[in-house]
A and B are shown apart, each in its own frame.
Chain A
Amino acid sequence: MNLIDETLKDTPKIPVQKYTPKDFQSDQDVRWCPGCGDYSILAQVQRVLPELNIPKHDIVFVSGIGCSSRFPYYMDTYGFHGIHGRAAAIASGLKVARPELSVWVATGDGDGLSIGGNHFIHLCRRNIDIKIILFNNQIYGLTKGQYSPTSEFGKVTKSSPYGSPDHPFNPLLVALGAEASFVARGLDRDPKLLQTIIRRAAEHKGTAFMEMYQNCNVFNDGAFDLFTDKETKDDNVIVLENGKPMIFGKEKDKGLKLEGFTPVAISLKDGKHTVDDLIVHNEKNTMLSFILARMTNLPNLPRPVGVLYAVERPTYEHEVTKQIESSINKQGIGTLEKLLAHGETWIIK
């Protein structure tokens, strides 16, 4: 038995107590700007975690640097505030070393997709069982308002007074392109949806990527108003539900259908279409997930939110553990004596 197992062998594996959201609040003051979308996301995480039946001490939040990356300080779990962009890599090492832990990453659009873009795609492709919450405010908050890799083309900011010449990333497409096995999008002002997504991600075995639209009311206020305001939301957002036809609109009077590979929004009231014409959401359909993710930047189409994609495939740490077990089965557990006797040796008298 190694030292970790030995030390933790008496650790309760099932929580002795029932948690409440309060149990997940640390003693540190939350220092985000009043009105920041981060608060809502924090609150929803703290609401869902008690339902998961995971002992608090087995949960770790890892982050990079940015406003959103302060997240771990506010959680009364284990927490690791890393360096800019590297949360995914730190979390990967932790999860591979300790597969039994529940490992979460809190990251921003700059942190996760700019400086940390490399680690992000590699985490997705490896499918390490880590939950990534990407707080997307389409701006750099902590460094006070430069454009981020998700800011729209032409965006005027402190570092782009003449408009950003950068074409933006679409986080969902990046994740899908990197073969993430779970991809979802939530809205800071839709707590119910956030909770559903967080719960689903927690239950998923493998890398679960959640893009969360987050309003930075100081440097990019209103970036997502179209999708979160009561008035405009229903006509501009489509909430995906597995197995359900794609209906949206304030009066549930619109739908999405496919013409070839192209999604089009249609009216259900024009007499030409019925519900049977609509796309039925299928979380396991890879091609559909790309079409939906692509809808982010296409005009005249609603923005998909909810779980776009969820499939099971072997996780990296599972494969690693398997190799180790099979090698121990074959050769016996390695010991220092065995190591030193290994290979070609000779004796000098």
Chain B
Amino acid sequence: MVKDLKNLDEVTIRFAGDSGDGMQLTGSQFTTTTALLGNDLSTLPDYPAEIRAPAGTLFGVSGFQIHFGSKEISTPGDTCDVLVAMNPAALKVNLRSLRDGGIIIANRDGFNDKNLKLAGYDKNPLDDGSLEKFQLHSVDITKLTTLAIRELNLSTKVVERSKNFFALGMMYWMFSRPLESSIKWIQEKFKKSPEIVDANIRVLKAGYNFGETTEIFLARYEVKAAELHPGRYRSMTGNEATAWGLLAASAKSGLDLFLGSYPITPASEILHELSHHKNFRVKTYQAEDEIAGITSAIGASYGGAIGITTTSGPGLALKTEAMGLAVMLELPLVIVNVQRGGPSTGLPTKTEQADLLQAVHGRNSEAPIPVIASCTPAGCFDAAYEAVRIALKYMTPVILLTDGYLANGAEPWLIPDVNSLQDIDVKFHTDTKNFFPYSRDEKTLSRPWAIPGTPGLEHRIGGLEKEHITGNVSYDAENHDFMVNLRHQKIEGIANDLPDAIIEGDNTGDLLVVGWGGTYGAIKTAVQKKRIEGKSVSHLHLKYINPFQKNIGDILKKFKYILVPELNLGQLSQLLQAKYLIPVIKLNKVQGLPFKANEIEAKIDDILR
């Protein structure tokens, strides 16, 4: 049967099932294949905090959304066009994100009495007409999977586990994607168990062929490659990109990387990724807690390595005292905080931007630390690289903020040219003449880095206040005042080293939307749409939060209204208002979810009405 082949500019698909159904894997396989076809894309994994939440329950649903297209894609999509639902709970939880007229592919076998009851359905929604406004396809995925590998005599458990590949195969067919990349992946991943390789490949193909032969799908779709900047690409998640940015800075500076870290969602993958790259002389130290994570990193920095510590909100709280120590010691250190929902343990697997004030102010006394933020998953590479550069140049701890959404989300990354990366020049101090541990470079105000092992430079540093230049312990009142100001000045001075902030849109107008961090894609999408409608709105996204770039104040003055959307109750708003004494309109959401572009669009409409 010849089916219609329709061309689409962009599509959003959501895979949803039990946390044991392998939806994250299905989603990431679809992502890789899609990236290889040259589409632009953005993904949003959304999974429960429990590793194996009870099967069939609403809170156990795991989802993976991918938005891809032949045009530029900046968000994982506000609503989805296709929902793959492996059971009733997955349907119920995700139906509200499906657009009217969207496609549902439901695993009919999952819709048994027990699961229907668990999801709170009185009647089977696949049969009662309640899904009329969608294009519903119920497919016996489990049964078809079983049939496809019947003669392999595998346990029911293995068969059950393979059914996600059937769903993946169907989606590959529906969106005209090749199977090769996933087949290669299966062969590599399961190379120790040939029977699993065989089973998964058969199921994947069965899903694909089912699409081809069955009469239920009337159309298949094609999404052409996007017109991306030419070059070599790879798919990057935020956490991978962060790890790579750190590695790149290590390679470029000639310094070894030392990561002291304690596992915490959603930051752990940075530790995992760096642990793989031992041939870069990276040392990953899985510490006994967050405090040991940061203090071991400080110890390593003292020894001449780039000390790094990675964590998420609760872990950052624990590191507070040690951050103050690093400020006092004036040693380079990078503290990565992959923000998640809080307070306390909060929503461990969900995203939030509510640690901003903690990063900027969360220490005892006057302990200024530069804060920079990444705004896209792949952008974490540059942000991490920049964090190391600043830490080394100014001999200071630096906080890098990313978040759960950036950390897990993936997008194509244009691999940079090695030469395009800013140089990082480091020199350890070796000159024994006139050596003072707290003398300073005139321009940067940074102190010399004299590492143990250097003859003739034996000296002592510590958390007690330092006498200017000599670094000896000093409780002198005037000296303390002077040193507090000096440390402050040093951090403020970093602004001289930063490029001017660039507005997306016009440099003056009615409304400027100011964002920071992972809300970039949603704001950009919303602003672009409103600009096409002819509205006077521009977008400014801050990558540097402490200090702010020097031209921010001037930019803010050129707009009638300032809108600051944030996934918190207005933390950047506070900083901007305090520093620039300007009124701002806030748009806040604290649901553990990223902004949808249309939420920002609605607010823009509201203001410019």
Listed in ascending order, the chain A residues whose CB lies under 8 Å from chain B are 2-4, 6-8, 11-12, 26, 28, 55-60, 62, 65, 72-73, 75-83, 86, 89-98, 100-101, 118-119, 122, 320, 323-324, 327-328, 330-337, 339-341, 343-349
Selected contact of B277 from candidates A12, A80, A91, A339, CB within 8 Å: A339
Residue numbers in A under 8 Å from B421 (CB-CB): 336
Selected contact of B460 from candidates A12, A80, A333, CB within 8 Å: A80
Contact B418 A58, beta carbon cutoff 8 Å: no
User: Which of A119, A320, A332 gathers most chain B CB within 10 Å?
Assistant: A119
CB 8 Å contact bits of B281-292 with A (1 = contact, 0 = none): 101010111011
Residue numbers in A under 8 Å from B278 (CB-CB): 323-324, 327-328
Give min CB distance, B339 to chain A, whole Å. 24
Residue numbers in A under 8 Å from B455 (CB-CB): 11-12, 55, 57
Residue numbers in B under 8 Å from A346 (CB-CB): 35-36, 38, 232-234
Selected contact of A345 from candidates B181, B234, B291, B300, CB within 8 Å: B234
Selected contact of B230 from candidates A97, A122, A349, CB within 8 Å: A349
Closest to B417 in A: A340
Give min CB distance, B197 to chain A, whole Å. 19
Chain B residues with a Cβ closer than 8 Å to the other chain, count: 75
| Alpha-carbon distance A82/B461, docked complex (angstroms) | 8
Contact A93 B35, beta carbon cutoff 8 Å: no
Give min CB distance, B275 to chain A, whole Å. 10
Give min CB distance, B88 to chain A, whole Å. 36
Give min CB distance, A69 to chain B, whole Å. 9
Give min CB distance, B368 to chain A, whole Å. 18
Contact A93 B298, beta carbon cutoff 8 Å: yes
Contact A96 B453, beta carbon cutoff 8 Å: no
Residue numbers in A under 8 Å from B251 (CB-CB): 334-336, 339
CB 8 Å contact bits of B140-158 with A (1 = contact, 0 = none): 0000000000000000000
Selected contact of A57 from candidates B247, B279, B457, CB within 8 Å: B457
Contact A81 B281, beta carbon cutoff 8 Å: no
9 tightest CB-CB pairs across the interface, nearest first? A81-B462, A93-B296, A93-B299, A334-B280, A79-B460, A94-B299, A327-B278, A97-B300, A89-B292
Closest to B260 in A: A93
Closest to A62 in B: B299
- The answer, yes or no, to whether B463 is at the interface (CB within 8 Å) is yes
CB 8 Å contact bits of B238-253 with A (1 = contact, 0 = none): 0000001001100111
Closest to A74 in B: B460
Give min CB distance, A128 to chain B, whole Å. 10
- The answer, yes or no, to whether B379 is at the interface (CB within 8 Å) is no
- List which B457-481 residues lie within 8 A (CB) of chain A: 457-464, 472-473
User: Which of A6, A56, A82, A93 gathers most chain B CB within 10 Å?
Assistant: A93
Contact A94 B288, beta carbon cutoff 8 Å: no
If A96-B285, A334-B279 touch, whether A57 touches B454 (CB-CB below 8 Å) is yes
| Alpha-carbon distance A347/B292, docked complex (angstroms) | 43
- List which B259-305 residues lie within 8 A (CB) of chain A: 260, 277-281, 283, 285, 287-289, 291-292, 295-300, 302-305
CB 8 Å contact bits of B24-54 with A (1 = contact, 0 = none): 0000000010011010000000000000000
Closest to B329 in A: A80
Contact A92 B453, beta carbon cutoff 8 Å: no
- The answer, yes or no, to whether B225 is at the interface (CB within 8 Å) is yes
- The answer, yes or no, to whether B426 is at the interface (CB within 8 Å) is yes
Contact B430 A7, beta carbon cutoff 8 Å: yes
Contact B248 A2, beta carbon cutoff 8 Å: no
| Alpha-carbon distance A233/B451, docked complex (angstroms) | 44
Contact A56 B231, beta carbon cutoff 8 Å: no
- The answer, yes or no, to whether B483 is at the interface (CB within 8 Å) is no
- The answer, yes or no, to whether B367 is at the interface (CB within 8 Å) is no
Contact A73 B321, beta carbon cutoff 8 Å: no
Selected contact of B292 from candidates A59, A76, A92, A349, CB within 8 Å: A92
| Alpha-carbon distance A90/B307, docked complex (angstroms) | 11
Report 28 cross-chain contacts, Cβ distance below 8 Å, ordered by A residue. Answer: A2-B256, A3-B304, A57-B457, A72-B460, A73-B460, A78-B459, A79-B461, A82-B463, A83-B295, A89-B299, A90-B295, A90-B302, A92-B299, A93-B258, A93-B307, A95-B299, A96-B258, A96-B283, A97-B283, A97-B304, A98-B300, A118-B292, A323-B278, A324-B279, A336-B418, A346-B36, A346-B233, A347-B232
If A96-B283, A118-B288 touch, whether A340 touches B460 (CB-CB below 8 Å) is no
Contact B256 A4, beta carbon cutoff 8 Å: yes
Residue numbers in B under 8 Å from A26 (CB-CB): 460
Give min CB distance, B547 to chain A, whole Å. 26
Residue numbers in A under 8 Å from B459 (CB-CB): 78-79
Residue numbers in A under 8 Å from B460 (CB-CB): 26, 28, 72-73, 75, 78-81
Closest to A118 in B: B288
Residue numbers in B under 8 Å from A7 (CB-CB): 304, 427-428, 430, 451, 454
- The answer, yes or no, to whether B235 is at the interface (CB within 8 Å) is yes
- The answer, yes or no, to whether B8 is at the interface (CB within 8 Å) is no
User: Which of B252, B260, B292, B298 gathers most chain A CB within 10 Å?
Assistant: B292
If A93-B299, A346-B232, A348-B38 touch, whether A86 touches B292 (CB-CB below 8 Å) is yes
CB 8 Å contact bits of B415-428 with A (1 = contact, 0 = none): 11010010000111
- The answer, yes or no, to whether B583 is at the interface (CB within 8 Å) is no
Contact A348 B230, beta carbon cutoff 8 Å: yes
Contact B279 A97, beta carbon cutoff 8 Å: no
Closest to A76 in B: B458
Total residue contacts A-B, CB cutoff 8 A: 229
Residue numbers in B under 8 Å from A65 (CB-CB): 463
| Alpha-carbon distance A73/B464, docked complex (angstroms) | 11
| Alpha-carbon distance A7/B459, docked complex (angstroms) | 18
Contact B297 A28, beta carbon cutoff 8 Å: no
Selected contact of A101 from candidates B281, B298, B303, CB within 8 Å: B303
| Alpha-carbon distance A57/B429, docked complex (angstroms) | 14
Contact B234 A97, beta carbon cutoff 8 Å: no
Give min CB distance, B70 to chain A, whole Å. 12
Closest to B243 in A: A339
If A86-B291, A334-B280 touch, whether A94 touches B303 (CB-CB below 8 Å) is yes
| Alpha-carbon distance A56/B458, docked complex (angstroms) | 8
Contact A98 B453, beta carbon cutoff 8 Å: yes
Other A-B pairs beyond A119-B292, A333-B281, 14, CB < 8 Å: A4-B451, A7-B427, A11-B454, A57-B458, A80-B460, A80-B461, A89-B295, A93-B260, A93-B300, A94-B300, A94-B302, A97-B305, A331-B279, A339-B251
- The answer, yes or no, to whether B93 is at the interface (CB within 8 Å) is no
Give min CB distance, B400 to chain A, whole Å. 19
Contact B461 A91, beta carbon cutoff 8 Å: no
Contact A83 B453, beta carbon cutoff 8 Å: no
| Alpha-carbon distance A77/B453, docked complex (angstroms) | 10
Give min CB distance, B297 to chain A, whole Å. 6
Selected contact of B279 from candidates A6, A101, A332, CB within 8 Å: A332
Residue numbers in B under 8 Å from A91 (CB-CB): 299
Closest to A84 in B: B321
Residue numbers in A under 8 Å from B430 (CB-CB): 7
- List which B490-526 residues lie within 8 A (CB) of chain A: none
Contact A77 B415, beta carbon cutoff 8 Å: no
User: Which of A6, A26, A89, A324 gathers most chain B CB within 10 Å?
Assistant: A89
Closest to A81 in B: B462
Contact B234 A343, beta carbon cutoff 8 Å: yes
| Alpha-carbon distance A83/B463, docked complex (angstroms) | 7
| Alpha-carbon distance A167/B472, docked complex (angstroms) | 39
| Alpha-carbon distance A2/B288, docked complex (angstroms) | 28
Give min CB distance, A219 to chain B, whole Å. 21
- The answer, yes or no, to whether B101 is at the interface (CB within 8 Å) is no
Residue numbers in B under 8 Å from A93 (CB-CB): 258, 260, 285, 295-300, 303, 307
Closest to A87 in B: B295
- The answer, yes or no, to whether B255 is at the interface (CB within 8 Å) is yes
Residue numbers in A under 8 Å from B194 (CB-CB): none
Residue numbers in B under 8 Å from A341 (CB-CB): 415
Selected contact of B418 from candidates A79, A340, A347, CB within 8 Å: A340
- The answer, yes or no, to whether B456 is at the interface (CB within 8 Å) is yes
CB 8 Å contact bits of B394-421 with A (1 = contact, 0 = none): 0000000000000000000001101001
Contact A82 B462, beta carbon cutoff 8 Å: yes
